[in-house]
Amino acid sequence: MDDHGRLIEISERLAEAIGRRDGNAVSGLLAKGFVQRHAGGDPVESGAFLDGIAKIPGEILSVKVQQLTVDIAGDGAIVTGVQHAQLEIEGSRVDDRRSFVDWFVRENGDWRLRAAVDLE
Protein backbone atom coordinates (compact mmCIF):
# COMPACT_ATOMS: atom_id res chain seq x y z
CA MET A 1 0.00 0.00 0.00
CA ASP A 2 1.33 3.46 -0.84
CA ASP A 3 1.64 6.26 1.73
CA HIS A 4 -1.60 7.93 0.63
CA GLY A 5 -3.59 4.74 1.17
CA ARG A 6 -1.79 4.01 4.42
CA LEU A 7 -2.67 7.45 5.83
CA ILE A 8 -6.32 7.01 4.87
CA GLU A 9 -6.32 3.61 6.58
CA ILE A 10 -4.71 5.01 9.75
CA SER A 11 -7.24 7.86 9.87
CA GLU A 12 -10.10 5.38 9.62
CA ARG A 13 -8.55 3.13 12.30
CA LEU A 14 -8.12 6.14 14.57
CA ALA A 15 -11.81 7.07 14.23
CA GLU A 16 -12.88 3.48 14.90
CA ALA A 17 -10.64 3.29 18.01
CA ILE A 18 -12.11 6.54 19.33
CA GLY A 19 -15.57 5.08 18.73
CA ARG A 20 -14.63 2.09 20.91
CA ARG A 21 -12.94 4.34 23.51
CA ASP A 22 -9.87 2.16 22.92
CA GLY A 23 -7.11 4.29 24.44
CA ASN A 24 -4.43 1.65 23.78
CA ALA A 25 -5.23 1.53 20.07
CA VAL A 26 -5.31 5.34 19.84
CA SER A 27 -2.06 5.65 21.80
CA GLY A 28 -0.37 3.25 19.37
CA LEU A 29 -1.09 5.68 16.52
CA LEU A 30 0.33 8.78 18.25
CA ALA A 31 3.79 10.23 17.68
CA LYS A 32 6.11 11.33 20.45
CA GLY A 33 5.10 14.80 21.57
CA PHE A 34 1.54 14.52 20.26
CA VAL A 35 -0.74 17.51 20.88
CA GLN A 36 -4.38 18.21 20.13
CA ARG A 37 -5.39 21.79 19.44
CA HIS A 38 -8.62 23.72 19.10
CA ALA A 39 -8.60 27.03 17.25
CA GLY A 40 -7.41 29.63 19.76
CA GLY A 41 -7.11 27.09 22.60
CA ASP A 42 -4.26 25.68 24.62
CA PRO A 43 -2.60 22.45 23.47
CA VAL A 44 -3.83 19.17 24.96
CA GLU A 45 -1.07 16.59 25.42
CA SER A 46 -1.50 12.87 24.77
CA GLY A 47 -2.44 11.84 28.34
CA ALA A 48 -5.25 14.37 28.58
CA PHE A 49 -6.33 13.58 25.00
CA LEU A 50 -6.65 9.87 25.82
CA ASP A 51 -8.44 10.67 29.08
CA GLY A 52 -10.89 12.83 27.15
CA ILE A 53 -11.69 9.94 24.80
CA ALA A 54 -12.40 7.67 27.78
CA LYS A 55 -14.76 10.33 29.20
CA ILE A 56 -16.84 11.00 26.08
CA PRO A 57 -20.37 11.16 27.48
CA GLY A 58 -23.18 8.78 26.60
CA GLU A 59 -23.10 5.84 24.24
CA ILE A 60 -20.96 6.22 21.14
CA LEU A 61 -22.96 4.80 18.24
CA SER A 62 -20.34 5.50 15.56
CA VAL A 63 -17.33 7.61 14.66
CA LYS A 64 -16.37 7.84 11.00
CA VAL A 65 -14.16 10.08 8.89
CA GLN A 66 -15.32 11.46 5.56
CA GLN A 67 -14.02 13.64 2.73
CA LEU A 68 -10.40 12.76 3.48
CA THR A 69 -7.62 14.51 1.61
CA VAL A 70 -3.93 13.71 2.00
CA ASP A 71 -0.93 15.93 1.27
CA ILE A 72 2.50 14.33 1.72
CA ALA A 73 5.87 16.09 1.82
CA GLY A 74 8.81 13.86 2.72
CA ASP A 75 8.33 12.46 6.22
CA GLY A 76 5.32 14.67 6.99
CA ALA A 77 1.72 14.59 5.87
CA ILE A 78 -1.46 16.57 6.41
CA VAL A 79 -4.79 14.72 6.41
CA THR A 80 -7.94 16.82 6.39
CA GLY A 81 -11.53 15.74 6.55
CA VAL A 82 -14.75 15.66 8.50
CA GLN A 83 -15.30 13.51 11.58
CA HIS A 84 -18.91 12.37 11.94
CA ALA A 85 -19.83 11.03 15.37
CA GLN A 86 -23.22 9.80 16.48
CA LEU A 87 -23.92 9.45 20.19
CA GLU A 88 -26.85 8.82 22.45
CA ILE A 89 -26.80 10.98 25.57
CA GLU A 90 -29.60 10.69 28.12
CA GLY A 91 -32.02 9.35 25.53
CA SER A 92 -31.23 11.99 22.90
CA ARG A 93 -29.34 11.30 19.71
CA VAL A 94 -26.46 13.69 19.00
CA ASP A 95 -25.14 14.02 15.45
CA ASP A 96 -21.76 15.79 15.57
CA ARG A 97 -19.77 16.76 12.47
CA ARG A 98 -16.55 18.68 12.70
CA SER A 99 -13.71 19.38 10.33
CA PHE A 100 -10.19 18.42 11.33
CA VAL A 101 -6.58 18.76 10.27
CA ASP A 102 -4.20 15.98 11.32
CA TRP A 103 -0.42 16.24 10.97
CA PHE A 104 1.34 12.90 10.61
CA VAL A 105 5.08 12.27 10.79
CA ARG A 106 7.05 9.19 9.91
CA GLU A 107 8.65 7.59 12.99
CA ASN A 108 10.83 4.52 12.48
CA GLY A 109 9.17 3.90 9.12
CA ASP A 110 5.58 4.15 10.40
CA TRP A 111 3.15 7.06 10.11
CA ARG A 112 2.16 8.49 13.51
CA LEU A 113 -0.19 11.34 14.41
CA ARG A 114 1.83 14.29 15.75
CA ALA A 115 -0.89 16.95 15.98
CA ALA A 116 -4.67 17.03 15.64
CA VAL A 117 -6.61 20.25 15.13
CA ASP A 118 -10.40 20.31 15.59
CA LEU A 119 -12.30 22.95 13.64
CA GLU A 120 -15.86 23.23 14.92
Residue range 76-113, pLDDT digits in tens? 999 999 999 999 999 999 999 999 999 999 999 999 99
Find, among 77, 87, 81, the residue nearest to 113 by Cα: 77
Quick check: pTM over 0.85?
A: yes
Residue range 45-81, pLDDT digits in tens? 999 999 999 999 999 999 999 999 999 999 999 999 9
How far apart, in whole angstroms, are the C-alpha atoms of residue 84 and residue 95?
7
Please report the domains of the chain, with CATH numbers, ordered by start residue. 3-119 (3.10.450.50)
Q: Look at the alpha carbons of 103, 97, 43, 33 in this order and tell me if their dihedral is positive or negative.
A: negative
* DSSP secondary structure letter of residue 58: S
Q: Are the CB atoms for 34 and 83 separated by under 8 Å? A: no
Beta-carbon contacts of 62 under 8 Å, excluding residues fewer than 6 positions away, are 19, 84, 85, 86
